[in-house]
Chain A
């Protein structure tokens, strides 16, 4: 079906189903309960899950297949974002032209950066990409202020030209939409205590992610994908057989840059604002973490990694000391104090610490990332399907 093998189609459909029902899955706790703190089913975070999922899928095409570690992917994310916001300012608040343009501009930029950076391999390649990203950040932050808005960034304004749009009614602000359907529109379904939010923006981003994932799977399983793996395993041997790896690596670099641009364009479509710190080197590092955490070279790994990191960034970081005391309210004060003292460094602003520990554990005990963890658990329980389990662990590379 769809030109995918049986095991791929199973993974693909699983992702599709999970994405469609994310508003339910991510809101497991009733609104009024204390555990509602851990609910992640609100539009902003769900949108972030899928957008960073796209970003990580694209990064994985480069890193997972060719082994080239780019430390500057956030630059493409930023370039895509700026392209999209300018389309919104100049042409229309409809998200389609913005998204298309973000992919194109990021692609062109990736050709330039890739052409130069790919002259080197290994650590030198990583440093070159990092340098490009930091240069882009510095340019956007100050030198290119007329185009990028500098530190304050860009937003749609009432006074923008928007050549294709009808004039706004007075008192109306420009809003991102898809042929009139606003991205911020949500429908809330209340079911005895539970509240589920279905957001237009989320489903638009989710459809784009599913398409992006499908294309990525096809790339992984194509002869082109095999070539990329050949680059990773031994470039020299590839050259001896008369094949030039450069076009393949450049193509992979550009494709993955376009994925990043797409993610950037979607970010603008969901939340119409761009700032230069989107291109900062920490943002580039984040996508590396996502990919490694989820499972480098696997199909769903990067999406899982992106989800985990965004979940921790948005949920764990919001738990403060007061909330901890609320949880331990029934314990004696002294014990509560000790517990809070022990837990506090790992939550709230200390969420990076927790992330670091998880990351270390994954790298040491599960080199294949969360996907490998899932497979091990699967193998432990699925005794009957042992042969199948072994088979599915193979394409994890």
Chain B
């Protein structure tokens, strides 16, 4: 150890160390979440721009994540002028011309949220810090959306939420850099209640089974408030553990309670299991208070309907978008609704690429990507504050939900809400739900301040 040899290698090593030492004092002077020098995080420098698609690829919502990723890939193709253009052709804003965003080709990186906040944030941070993503989007749960949204606010990039239905995302946890196109629990309650009252009467007694976590609470509250306003009575609201797979012990007391409607505030696998249990118990054949016993599932998705199979027949719920809009339908009152050209364009290009119709998760993710690209183009900048201002108060049409407003106060989209019902005679494994009513946006809009929370200012990062 004592004899010192001077080698070429040693000198190189020493030189590097000395260099790093000299660089040290400057470390704390420059702040950089960023690679670029244009005053905001990850300003694109070359002729490409990178988007980060952060979706669940493993865990309980992996199916939805896979569908989201398909939609993102389709959106990137359309933005880069490949494929048939999809909803770009029907979109009311004509700023996008198929040459990427602001002339830069769109590239993307993907990550796995695992439907865990920590994993989702790690994945989003690596996209921002390592891959230079300028926008993060995706996710299939509200916990993840809230966590990643806060991260994007800190890092100074825009977050375009994927599937997240809790009021909190644009309510008490809203952030200036975050935007949500998907609807929320409040809107579900407001849209569903009149349809339920219409179909089942105004003097019903409801029993709630609620998944014991944040989304469950907000949904239970929303449905409870809206139905009680129409004369329903809530007999009981029971919380069920999220990990529960057998709901028999929760279903049995329902009949003794004197309730005649069961509301299942469950999502994903929870809903599939609880609904199946309820149907197996023969609840739907029972007569209570001289009325036919009914079941309601506030938030539906096609993938859940597939899981529950024949059990969903005739059961009401709400959804953000459904591919059958592309074909037109007859609603509950017998009114014919014409096919929606935008939905048709989307279903066509998605179907041609992947061979089956898109889910609502795919739709909202596709739309969010297009909206982001459009906002950049209109703002003529990728700077989060400029993009955000372009999105705030933006009114658009032709993306499948009719006229829509991106409200400036809470960055939430307001549009018509679809009330759907499990189809009696499905023709294929994708044709499980039918739209019974499109609740107009005026019925579901609310004051931005009711959920509290503070938007704060835009953060451009570096």
Pair A277/B242 contact, Cβ less than 8 Å: no
When A186-B32, A320-B110 are in contact, do A142 and B20 touch as well, CB less than 8 Å?
A: no
User: Which residue of the partner chain, among A21, A151, A198, A273, contacts B214 with CB atoms under 8 Å?
Assistant: A151
Say whether A158 contacts B150, CB under 8 Å.
Answer: no
- Known: A45-B126, A48-B122, A277-B116. Contact between A181 and B28, CB under 8 A? yes
| 8 Å CB contact of B31 from A173, A186, A195, A271 | A186
B124: nearest chain-A partner, CB-CB: A44
Which of B23, B27, B117, B130 contacts A275 (CB under 8 A)? Answer: B117
Interface 0/1 of A258-283, CB less than 8 Å to B? 00000000000001110101101000
Give A143's nearest chain B residue, CB to CB: B212
- Chain B 18-55 residues near chain A, CB threshold 8 A: 20, 23, 26-33, 35
Contact B28 A275 (CB under 8 A): no
Contact among B32, B57, B213, B459 for A150, CB-based, below 8 A? B213
Tell whether A200 pairs with B28 under 8 Å between CB atoms, given A21-B20, A173-B153.
yes
B294 within 8 A of A: no
Asked if B121 is at the interface of the complex by the 8 Å CB criterion, the answer is yes
Kindly provide the distance from the CB of A285 to the nearest chain B CB, expressed in whole angstroms.
Answer: 14
* Cβ–Cβ < 8 Å partners of B217 in chain A: 145, 150
- Tell yes or no: B140 within 8 A of A by CB: no
Chain A residues with CB under 8 A of B150: 155, 272-273
Q: Measured between alpha carbons, how far is A154 from B118 in the docked complex, in Å? A: 12
How many B residues face the partner with a CB closer than 8 A?
A: 56
Q: Given A187-B28, A349-B58, are A271 and B151 neighbors across the interface (CB < 8 Å)?
A: yes
A142 touches B241 (CB 8 A): yes
Residues of chain B from 421 to 462 with CB closer than 8 A to chain A in the complex: 454, 456-459
Residue A393 interfacial (CB < 8 Å):
no
Give the residues from 216 to 243 in chain A that come closer than 8 angstroms, CB to CB, to chain B.
none
Which residues of chain A are within 8 angstroms of B374 by Cβ–Cβ distance?
A: none
Bitwise, A129-166 to B at CB < 8 A (1) or not (0) is 00000000010011001000011110101110000000
Tell me if A317 is interfacial: C-beta within 8 Å of chain B.
Answer: yes
B239 interfacial contact with A, CB 8 Å = yes
**A89: CB under 8 A from chain B?**
no
User: Which residues from A are CB-within-8-Å of B458?
Assistant: 171
Given A153-B146, A187-B28, the answer on whether A173 and B213 have CB atoms closer than 8 Å is no
Q: Is the CB of A275 within 8 A of B242?
A: no
Q: B27–A198 contact, CB under 8 A? A: yes
Residues of B within 8 A of A325 (CB): none
Q: Residues of B contacting A271 with CB < 8 Å? A: 121, 125, 151
Q: How far is the CA of A45 from the CA of B127 in the complex (A)?
A: 11
B168 surroundings in chain A (CB, below 8 A): 152
With contacts A153-B117, A188-B35, A275-B143 taken as known, whether A318 is within 8 angstroms of B457 at the C-beta atoms is: no
Q: Complex formed: what's the CA distance from A320 to B458 in Å? A: 33
**Contacts A44-B125, A44-B126 known; 9 new A-B pairs at CB < 8 A:** A45-B122, A151-B141, A155-B150, A158-B456, A171-B456, A198-B27, A273-B117, A314-B123, A317-B112
Q: List 6 A-B pairs, minimum CB-CB distance, nearest first.
A: A171-B457, A275-B117, A44-B125, A187-B27, A151-B213, A42-B129
Chain B interfacial positions (CB closer than 8 Å to A): 16-17, 20, 23, 26-33, 35, 57-58, 62, 109-112, 116-118, 121-123, 125-126, 129-130, 141-143, 146-147, 150-151, 153-155, 166, 168, 173, 212-215, 217, 239, 241-242, 454, 456-459
List 18 contacting pairs A-B, 8 Å CB cutoff, sorted by A: A42-B129, A44-B122, A44-B125, A141-B213, A151-B143, A151-B213, A152-B168, A155-B146, A158-B454, A171-B456, A173-B154, A186-B31, A187-B27, A197-B32, A273-B121, A277-B117, A278-B118, A318-B110
